[in-house]
A and B are shown apart, each in its own frame.
Chain A
Amino acid sequence: MAYEIKLNEEVHQIEMWAKEGNLADIKIDNRHYTVDIVEVEHGVYSILLDGISYNVELLPTENKKYLVNTLYNAFDVEIIDAETKYKNSRKSAEAEDSNYISTPMPGKVVKILVNEGDRVKGGDTVIIVSAMKMESEYKVVKDRLITKILVKEGDNIDGHQPLIMLE
């Protein structure tokens, strides 16, 4: 069965033709590779391709999504199976998701600069979050209405957690 794979912004067709132990025949678009691939340590793969040795680290970020690190490069990779395809097609049909401000990492809310019901201009800072002694300001991109504030100053927060709802 062929899958689609999204590498950064490019989408490719990918298919496993054969797999025998640590040898795999994989076709990407019309390129055909025979690789010797072994998970040598948890999350670290050693790949031999035409005698050339690659070390690749995999960091699963979400379901079916990976951050892939090679020696000098990092790629965001997503496996698109039938389920994801279906979800994506539904998502685009629906209206845009409700928007919120969140942070990419866990931390602590230092200051909330807005109140519920405020109208803010694009570029305004709405919340300041600290992690590891660094304070980061989070701004809105466009003019927005603050509909709901879900956290208090001093709260510990997780990464990707909704903090402030916008409209």
Chain B
Amino acid sequence: MIKKILVANRGEIAVRIMRSCREMGIKSVAVFSEADRHSMHVRFADEAYCIGPAPSAESYLVIDNIIEVARRSGADAIHPGYGFLSENAAFSERCEKEGIIFIGPSAYAIDTMGDKITARKKMQTANVPVVPGTTEPITDLKEAVRVIMEIGLPVMVKASAGGGGKGMRLVKKEEDILSSVSAARSEAKAAFGNDAVYIEKYINSPHHIEFQIVADKHGNCVHLFERECSVQRRHQKVVEETPSPIMTEAVRQEMGAHAVAAAKAVNYSGAGTIEFIVDDNLNYYFLEMNTRLQVEHPITERVVGVDLVKIQIDIANGKELPFKQEDLKQHGHAIEVRIYAEDPDNNFMPSPGMIKHITEPLGLGVRHDGYVYAGYEIPIYYDPMISKLIVWAQTRQEAIDRMRRALHAYKITGIKTSIPFLNRIMEVPAFVEGKYNTHFIQDHEEQLKPKENASQRLKDVAAITAFFDYMSKIENTKKSKYCKRPVSNWKNYGRATNLKKL
């Protein structure tokens, strides 16, 4: 049985994994880069070890250093979180070789699903529907152009080893083909060290719907229903919810069965996610499988009533799943928003820096998974996500109302965040009605802009506050210059008693 887990990650997910460890009576080990000495996961863990300089390529991505810490601390398992080494087959293999349990799938499953082209072929043989496109990786520019013309525009060019929207380009016009393909390839090369790309038909007005699956090592595999992740900006998810507002019970069952078939096709074990692209008529195609815990896993946890990290650890321990498909039900509605350190009013420019003050929202049905605190400086080296806000309610409408309430109460000063932008999403009628697809943000650009029509009164309140602060500061500097410091009776008393002792 696992007694000590090394969490090979940072930020909110490291903290979230350690929470489950604590509940299970398992010790946790944090690893951190030189830039992360002050990070919350270091404070939260039972043990913590530095694994190298700030850039992730020299710390969080160095397998040798992480294995070394696992040995030194006596950790019997490693949880990779998401990102970093979570979908690195070599890492999974290395753990196995070292006799350390990797809390995730086998190297074979990661390899097969991690390479999008191999994954496609595998899915075709498992009778899971896939999007029309290439089945061979393309490394030659001319070949890419030929294939694009064959499939017909619009197409999506994707890095073969990619994920998270990196190395991905949409090509709509013929004159953009060359530049888009080169850009996708150079991004893929920089991010993944592999410039092979593949090309697929682009589906208009698509929805991004994914299914959570869990599989144990005894051949049991179930799905934990869908997550609707269509609110995206530059292919990065912004809002996720479950159940999906467009889903029907019949399609849900069918897609769930296909998700389970997809996982079984690679002898999957652990928690994983099958992503589908879905059109307005609920035709769906396999997009990719994420062989790890997803950022948005909490909404599933809330609606299905499970702790996915606990299940991952139990599976790694060789336990059988505690439930069957027919035991699982969706209860109520959950929405998650991702809070990024970025300036939504200035082209989403990253906004690293020092958190001056933070008030996290609380109250009924609110969960906050974060890692920053007042006085913490967000480093420039890593992902700009600072937290996730998850709400749950009986109905979708109530969940939206609750999310608005929670966002209003959520205050972070010192840096710019996407909170005002998320607030505006919750107000857009198309979102409230549940009629949206992955073009939502693009299509509602106008409605998502900050409201300029502030009342005169509000403007005056803003001016008064700044002016009052300025005047108070002037007053305080004058005071400290010309007035005596206020007398402290405690200090006087202390001095007097000290004097008596002499």
Q: Report whether over half of chain B's contact residues are helix, strand or loop; otherwise say mixed.
A: mixed
- Flag if A45 contacts B465 (CB, 8 Å): yes
Query: Cβ of B471: which chain A residues have Cβ within 8 Å of it?
Result: 16, 19
Of the residues B380, B381, B467, contact of A79 by C-beta under 8 Å: B467
Which residues does chain A contribute within 8 Å of B470, judged by CB atoms?
A: 64, 79
Name the B residues within 8 Å of A57 (CB-CB): 411, 413
CA distance A19 to B458 in the complex (A): 21
For residue B187, which residue of chain A has the nearest CB? A135
Q: A59 vs B380: C-alpha distance in the bound complex, in angstroms?
A: 20
Given contacts A106-B380, A132-B341, A132-B352, A44 and B413 within 8 Å (CB-CB):
yes
Enumerate B218-244 residues with CB–CB distance to A below 8 Å. none
The answer to whether residues A45 and B469 also contact, given A72-B420, A74-B345, A132-B341 and a CB cut-off of 8 A, is: yes
Bound-state Cα–Cα, A133 to B343, Å: 15
Report the minimum CB–CB distance from B477 to chain A (whole Å).
Answer: 13
Count of chain B residues with Cβ under 8 Å from any Cβ of A? 44
Contact digits for A121-153, partner B, Cβ 8 Å, 1 yes 0 no? 000000000011110100000000000000000
Chain B residues near A7 (CB-CB < 8 A) = 459, 462-463
Chain B: CB-nearest residue to A35? B464
Q: Is A70 within 8 A of B420, CB to CB?
A: no
Alpha-carbon distance between A44 and B343 when the two chains are bound, in angstroms: 19
Question: Smallest Cβ distance from A21 to chain B, in angstroms?
Answer: 12
B414 within 8 A of A: yes
Among A31, A42, A131, which residue has the most Cβ atoms of chain B within 10 A?
A131
**Majority secondary structure, A binding face:** strand
Chain A residues lying within 8 Å of B459, measured Cβ to Cβ, are 7, 10, 75
**A residues near B384, Cβ cutoff 8 Å:** 132-134
Instruction: Give the total number of A-B pairs whose CB atoms are below 8 A apart.
Output: 142
Contact of A72 with B468 in the complex, beta carbons under 8 Å: no
Complexed CA–CA distance, A19 and B468 (Å): 10
Residues of A within 8 A of B462 (CB): 7, 56, 68, 70, 73, 75, 77
Contacts of B380 in A (CB 8 A): 105-108, 131-132, 156
Contact across chains for A16 and B467 when beta carbons are under 8 A apart: yes
Selected from B349, B350, B357, B472, the residue in CB contact (under 8 A) with A44 is: B357
Question: Nearest residue in A to B419 (C-beta to C-beta)?
Answer: A69
Contacts A19-B471, A43-B413, A132-B350; is A73 near B450 (CB within 8 Å)? yes
Give 6 closest A-B pairs by Cβ, nearest first. Answer: A132-B384, A132-B350, A77-B466, A131-B350, A68-B462, A56-B465
Apart from A59-B413, A66-B466, 13 more pairs, CB < 8 Å: A14-B464, A28-B460, A35-B464, A44-B357, A45-B465, A47-B465, A66-B469, A70-B461, A73-B454, A105-B353, A107-B352, A131-B380, A134-B350
Q: 9 interchain pairs (CB within 8 A)? A: A3-B467, A16-B468, A31-B460, A43-B414, A45-B468, A59-B413, A105-B349, A105-B352, A132-B383
